[in-house]
Structure 1
Amino acid sequence: MNVHKLIKSFGYALNGIVSAMKEQNMRIHIFSAFIVVIAGLVTGLSHLEWLALVIIIALVIGAEMMNTAIESVVDLASPEIHPLAKRAKDVAAGAVLVFALASVIIGLLIFLPKWF
């Protein structure tokens, strides 16, 4: 195993996270996750509830990062407006929306019974 290559690959991944944080939607997802974690700490969630929240937070953030990557590649490959480029970007954004809506539903299923 080449430790130097491994360390460099982690550096590239961290650069990707930092780059994604420049996107407005990513900052919204991170802020929402922060609020959910605070609410979870105040509410006193079970291990299983934390597991569900951590998984869905990771899925939403990961999907947003993939969306950003797809948008960047599409913009590089097709700087001009093209129907297929638009479709690729719209579908990637739609995938993020599906995960985000699922996260809201999961959050409601976890928090509402504890609060009301």
Structure 2
Amino acid sequence: MELKDKKPVIGFSYAWQGIRFVIKSERNFRIHLVAAILVFIAGWILQISLMEWIIIVILIGMVLITEMLNTVVEQMIDYIKPELHPAAKQIKDIAAGAVLIAAMVAAIIGCLVFIPKIVPLM
């Protein structure tokens, strides 16, 4: 049966398939996911404020989304240009750089949120 013959599902099943694919196939996404879970646990234990939760959730979303977009870029380049090419490498490197910047920003803000709560406990 062709895709156009299927009943509309509002795309949720396709979205979940994409998320499952990234979780199963991308080690870095799994690392970011584990880090996110640890941050949620730390936030709960340290009782961060509502505004801190909002910031943390936005940052976690930003990192996971950039990691998924990086996967999309890599998959597209591998499909379009399977042989090694300097431009393909540069495109992949730029996408990976976006993930690195997102993760660094999240880590810096995470330190700003969590260090003041951890230091008094020492």
TM-score, normalised by the number of residues in structure 1: 0.94
For the pair 1:72 / 2:71, whether they are aligned, the reply is no
Which residue of the partner structure matches residue 60 of structure 1?
Answer: 63
The CA deviation string for residues 92-113 of structure 1, in whole angstroms up to 9 with x for no partner, is: 0000000000010010000011
CA drift of 1:57 comes to 0.2
1:9 to 8, 11, 22: 11
- Given residue 30 of structure 1, which amino acid in structure 2 is its aligned partner? L
CA drift of 1:8 comes to 5.0
In 1, the alpha carbon distance for the partners of 2:107 and 2:11 equals 33
Query: Can you give the 5+ residue segments of structure 2 that lack an aligned partner in the other structure?
Result: 1-6
Which residue of the partner structure matches residue 95 of structure 1?
Answer: 98
The CA deviation string for residues 67-116 of structure 1, in whole angstroms up to 9 with x for no partner, is: 00110000000000001100110000000000000010010000011111
Aligned residue pairs total: 112
- Given residue 36 of structure 2, which amino acid in structure 1 is its aligned partner? A
2:44 to 20, 31, 41: 41
Residue 11 of structure 2 aligns to a residue in which SS?
helix
- Given residue 18 of structure 2, which amino acid in structure 1 is its aligned partner? G
In 1, the alpha carbon distance for the partners of 2:74 and 2:118 equals 39
In 2, the alpha carbon distance for the partners of 1:56 and 1:45 equals 15
2:27 to 18, 21, 24: 24
Which residue of the partner structure matches residue 85 of structure 2?
Answer: 82
Residue 81 of structure 1 aligns to a residue in which SS?
coil
User: Over alpha carbons, which structure has the higher Rg?
Assistant: 2
Residue 54 of structure 1 aligns to a residue in which SS?
helix
Moved over 6 A (4+): none
In 2, the alpha carbon distance for the partners of 1:34 and 1:40 equals 10
In 2, the alpha carbon distance for the partners of 1:8 and 1:26 equals 25
TM-score, normalised by the number of residues in structure 2: 0.89
In 2, the alpha carbon distance for the partners of 1:37 and 1:60 equals 14
Query: Can you give the 5+ residue segments of structure 1 that lack an aligned partner in the other structure?
Result: none
Identity of aligned residues (%): 46
In 2, the alpha carbon distance for the partners of 1:45 and 1:52 equals 11
